[in-house]
């Protein structure tokens, strides 16, 4: 009972929405974790990046009932090499026949959105500070936008016909046609539609975070105090306190210098991606 579909990323490219759309199809089942250590409401299984993945294989397998034609999961972190390594190798060991879907978007917009996600999680550095070391291969904001590099890691283990690259711009502007393309790739009824296909999830406007002195108070005072409370009370008070302390994350515009530097770093990746896929990605800024 293992998946035959994995949405491998990229982060901030619509994977949460696609996870939802796929799960509406009667021939598709999409898993979500039931581990209490995972953030509530998260879809990511986060299995193949773990060093203890072999020991947790039974746990992973338990999330796939084996009752649908297609059973899958979506974890954007599976395409954050080299920050998270060995993922394709491990994936091939467990599910060598799985089909892979890789969502991409304008790589500069994706990097900015990724920063907003990190900011909501407590990142204290500004966007400019996070992009200061663009050439560092372990800069997660930049590395996740190096699409061709990520694909090459998978093509060492999986044949090209098992990988579908989808532009988020197409999923937004031509959702029906794009979903039909995805369903055809998966071998399920491509004509299926649902009213829920009109919704988008995990959008930038929803991002809120605890930063500055509020983050220091949360980490240094409230979290230690919360550990002293009974579990039931802890769960009851955590969410309202987080909501009170959090603020909307303002996504800044990149200054011209940072944008030009990031574009220069990612342009070769985009050109290689165009060659790999035969797609033009005409709406992109790179």
Q: Domain locations in the chain? A: 5-106+139-200+267-277, 213-245
Whether CATH 1.10.1660.10 fits 5-106+139-200+267-277: no
pLDDT for res 261 = 93
What does the chain come to in residues?
286
pLDDT for res 246 = 58
Cα→Cα distances 75→18, 189, 267, Å: 11, 24, 25
Cα→Cα distances 148→28, 152, 195, 276, Å: 28, 6, 34, 8
Residue pLDDT tens, the chain, 286 long: 899 999 999 999 999 999 999 999 999 999 998 876 666 557 899 999 999 999 999 999 999 999 999 999 999 999 999 999 999 999 999 999 999 999 999 999 999 999 988 887 778 888 888 888 899 999 999 999 999 999 999 999 999 999 999 999 999 999 999 999 999 999 999 999 999 888 775 555 555 555 565 656 656 666 676 666 776 676 667 667 656 655 665 666 788 888 999 999 999 999 999 999 999 999 999 9
Q: 194, exposed or middle or buried, with CB in 10 Å at 0-12, 13-18, 19+?
A: middle
Residues 80 and 140: beta-carbon distance below 8 Å: yes
pLDDT for res 219 = 63
pLDDT for res 212 = 61
pTM: 0.83
Q: Provide the 8-state DSSP code for 123.
A: -
pLDDT for res 251 = 65
pLDDT for res 43 = 85
């Amino acid at each position: 009972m293992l998946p035959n579909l994995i949405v491998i990323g990229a982060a901030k490219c619509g994977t949460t929405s696609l996870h939802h759309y796929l799960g509406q199809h009667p021939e598709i089942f999409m898993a979500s974790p039931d581990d209490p250590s995972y953030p509530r409401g998260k879809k990511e299984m986060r299995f193949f990046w773990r060093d203890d993945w072999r020991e947790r294989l039974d746990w992973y397998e338990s999330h796939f009932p084996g009752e649908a034609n297609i059973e899958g999961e979506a974890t954007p972190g599976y395409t954050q090499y080299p920050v998270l390594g060995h993922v394709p190798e491990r994936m091939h060991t467990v599910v060598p026949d799985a089909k892979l879907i890789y969502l991409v978007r304008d790589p500069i917009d994706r990097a900015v959105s990724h920063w907003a996600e990190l900011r909501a999680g407590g990142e204290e550095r500004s966007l400019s500070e996070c992009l200061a070391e663009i050439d560092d291969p372990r800069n997660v904001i930049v590395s996740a936008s190096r699409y061709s590099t990520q694909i090459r890691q998978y093509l060492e283990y999986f044949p090209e016909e098992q990988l579908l690259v989808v532009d988020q711009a197409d999923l937004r502007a031509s959702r029906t046609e794009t979903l039909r393309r995805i369903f055809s790739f998966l071998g399920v009824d491509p004509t299926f539609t649902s009213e829920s296909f009109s919704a988008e999830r995990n959008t930038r406007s929803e991002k809120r975070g605890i930063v500055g002195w509020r983050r220091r108070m949360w980490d240094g005072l409230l979290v230690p105090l919360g550990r002293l409370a009974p579990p039931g009370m802890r769960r009851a008070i955590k969410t309202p306190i987080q909501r009170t302390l959090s603020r909307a994350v303002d996504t800044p515009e990149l200054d011209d210098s940072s944008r030009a530097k990031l574009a220069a770093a990612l342009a070769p990746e985009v050109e290689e991606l165009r060659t790999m896929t035969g797609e033009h990605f005409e709406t992109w800024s790179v």
